[in-house]
Amino acid sequence: MMVGVRWIYRFIPVPVLVCAVMPDRFDALALGVAVLVRPGSRDDEALIAHELVHCRQFYRSFGLNALRYWLSRDFRYQAELEAVREQLRINPAARSAAIQMLLTAYDLGVSRRQVENDL
Ligand SMILES: [Zn+2]
C-alpha cells in the first residue's frame, strides 16, 4: 500500500510503501528508488527522512552505493551516520534508539563511544 510520494533533490519522486515484510531488526528500508515502512511506523517522519537520505545516496552515486554499502563497513557506517543525523534532526528523542541500531543492526564493528562521538 502506498503511503505517498516524497521528493528528493526537489524533482525525484520516491514512493513510500507500507510493507510488513522486511528483516526483523528494521522498521523501514530504502530500496534505492523507493522506501518501505512497516505499518506501525508509517507516520514516523524522522524514520522516513532517514530512508530518504539513503535514496539520495543511491541517486548521487548512480546506484553504486549499494555495492559499496555491502562491501565496506566504513562506507556503511558513514552512510548510516548521515541518515541517522537527518533522522535525529527531526526527532532528537530517537537518539538512544538510533545509537542502539548503529551498534547492533548493521555489522559496523563500532563502539558506543565512537558512535556517540561521531553523531
Ligand atoms: Zn539507514
How many Å apart are CA 18 and CA 38, to the nearest integer?
A: 6
pLDDT tens track for 74-102: 999 999 999 999 999 999 999 999 999 99
Mean pLDDT estimate for the chain: 95
Ligand 1 centroid to 100 CA: how many Å? 13
Ligand 1 centroid to 51 CA: how many Å? 6
Ligand 1 centroid to 49 CA: how many Å? 10
Ligand 1 centroid to 84 CA: how many Å? 7
On whether the pTM is more than 0.75, the answer is: yes
Ligand 1 centroid to 16 CA: how many Å? 15
